[in-house]
Amino acid sequence: MGSGGREHALAWRLVQSGGVKAYAAPGNPGIASVATCLPVAPTDATALASIAADLRIDLTVVGPEAPLAAGLADVFAARGLRVFGPTAAAAQIEASKVFAKSLMRRWQIPTADFEVFDGAEEALAYLRRARGPVVVKADGLAAGKGVVVAHTVDEAETAVADLMVRRVHGPAGARVVIEECLQGEEASVLALVCGERVWPLVPARDYKRAGDGDCGSNTGGMGAIAPAPMADGVHQQIAEMLERVAAGMVREGRPYAGVLYAGIMVTADGPKVLEFNCRFGDPEAQVILPLLEGDLTGAMLDTLEARRPSLRWRDAAAACVVLASGGYPGSYHTGCVINGLASPPADALVFHAGTATRDGQLITAGGRVLNVVGLGPTLDQARERAYAGVSRITFDGMQYRTDIGGRSQATDRRTAVLVSEEAQSHA
Ligand code: AMP
Ligand code: GLY
């Protein structure tokens, strides 16, 4: 279920399992090459359950969070249909930041210090007392736009007023979390989960800012890499955090099933959880799934039976570059003709996100349009192959980041410190 690049990667990988025939609701032109697309919105759970029953679907895989938060897995389960994705009660881990933060507090999962506010007055009073930069978060789902990293008190006050008074994200802003701003490098660690059992996938990293060097506005994600070097050395600690949270959810009567995504900040005090998501990341799925060897459908079915899935990883790296419409994440045009997709280079994959067809031509139909994924023995080679693929594709206004998988500024800073220490020891 779904229509983005994540769902194209999922569908592409699921049909590689022997004997799988796939349907997508609603899908996109890329997904149409591997699955039969059905024109039904992923939020219409009742209609979808009837279709799944009629088609005798063995396994339903849900891409986005909204249908899960709205209870699609519950509706399917009530009709005896198997779903890879959590119930509405368990999806609260993404749908309510207040729930997620208090869950972490109850089960001692390292996270940023925080307070919850139900009214703008108290939130603003708190900001006047707070020291240092803070992050203001809407409690509810806001399509990734409900988080403001505020560098000044002014910015934080504006964020509170936008969320709680002007209600720019509607009821999602009725409550807010204000938390300490963490410093470090981010990683996305996803795991297959059934009840207390947790099987982590290869760690990934996404690039959330629109511009090179992590400048500009937050987006849904402008690229991703896997494996993520920033998780080296702390992967086991993060896996234990996921195990604690899964066990906590069982104890609290909301057992989790599906893929659980932890957004992590690797700080000087160790890894801390920024957020949980109740689904695969987009574009993290586009780099994780091509590195998985073997049978994804079987791995999901095993997970749902609480049997250890067979997860073998290619000894390789993947880099994904998102091609976006000019102006994204602000306003942008759609309907531009896309050229150059006929001949992707070897070792590159193209997943469709916001595309459509018009008179037999492929056109743009969203903010994030295409995902070009390069695979190679090293991250450098994966990146080169991704950008070689990008260079063949054109559409009016096309924009993308040129530094996906390149050296981060943090790495440059560390190198600079090492160099100056070396310079001193020679002096
Ligand atoms: P979230 O939706 O909670 O993951 O927040 C979106 C993005 O905001 C994260 O990926 C981080 O880049 C940033 N962010 C969220 N919380 C914090 C925090 N406590 N400190 C620093 N950055 C944060
Ligand atoms: N790439 C971030 C997310 O899927 O939430």
In a domain, 96, yes or no: no
Q: Decide if pLDDT at 144 tops 80.
A: no
Q: Decide if pLDDT at 69 tops 70.
A: yes
In a domain, 106, yes or no: no
Q: What percent of the chain has pLDDT over 70?
A: 95
Mean pLDDT of 268-289: 98
User: What integer pLDDT is reported at residue 427 of this predicted model?
Assistant: 36
User: What integer pLDDT is reported at residue 407 of this predicted model?
Assistant: 58
Q: Whose CA is nearest to atom 2 of ligand 2?
A: 281
- Which amino acids bring their CB within 6 angstroms of ligand 2? 144, 206, 221, 277, 281-282, 284
Which of 137, 141, 206 is the best mutation target for the ligand 2 pocket, counting ligand atoms within 8 Å of the beta carbon and taking the most?
A: 206
Q: Are residues 340 and 301 in the same domain?
A: no
pTM, rounded to two decimals: 0.93
User: What integer pLDDT is reported at residue 421 of this predicted model?
Assistant: 44
User: Which pLDDT band holds residue 415 (cuts at 50, 70, 90)?
Assistant: very low
Q: Are residues 71 and 135 in the same domain?
A: no
Q: Are residues 323 and 408 in the same domain?
A: yes
Q: For all residues of the chain together, what is the average pLDDT?
A: 93
In a domain, 396, yes or no: yes
Mean pLDDT of 289-317: 97
Residue 408's identity, in one-letter code, is S
Q: Whose CA is nearest to atom 13 of ligand 1?
A: 149
Q: Are residues 227 and 295 in the same domain?
A: yes
Domain count of the chain?
4
Q: Decide if pLDDT at 5 tops 70.
A: yes
Q: Decide if pLDDT at 346 tops 90.
A: no
Q: Are residues 9 and 55 in the same domain?
A: yes
- For residue 283, report the distance from its CA to the centre of ligand 2, in Å: 7
User: What integer pLDDT is reported at residue 331 of this predicted model?
Assistant: 94
Q: Residue 135 in 3-state DSSP?
A: strand
Domain of 328 in residue numbering reads as 317-426
Instruction: Tell me whether strands 134-138 and 176-180 are parallel, antiparallel or unpaired.
Output: antiparallel
263 within ligand 1 shell (Cβ under 6 A): yes
222: its two tokens = 């402008």
Which of 94, 113, 147 is the best mutation target for the ligand 1 pocket, counting ligand atoms within 8 Å of the beta carbon and taking the most?
A: 147
**CATH code: domain of residue 136:** 3.30.1490.20
Q: Decide if pLDDT at 42 tops 80.
A: yes
Q: Decide if pLDDT at 400 tops 90.
A: yes
pLDDT digits (tens, 9 = 90+) for 160-217: 999 999 999 999 999 999 999 999 999 999 999 999 999 999 999 999 999 999 998 8
User: Which pLDDT band holds residue 353 (cuts at 50, 70, 90)?
Assistant: very high
**CATH code: domain of residue 193:** 3.30.470.20
Instruction: Show Cβ contacts of residue 88 under 8 Å, excluding neighbours closer than 6 positions.
Output: 68, 69, 70, 71, 73, 74, 95
User: What integer pLDDT is reported at residue 97 of this predicted model?
Assistant: 96
pLDDT digits (tens, 9 = 90+) for 362-397: 999 999 999 999 999 999 999 999 999 999 999 999
179 within ligand 1 shell (Cβ under 6 A): yes
Considering only CA atoms, which of 287, 401, 345, 344 is closest in space to residue 6?
287
The CA distance from 84 to 279, in Å, is 9
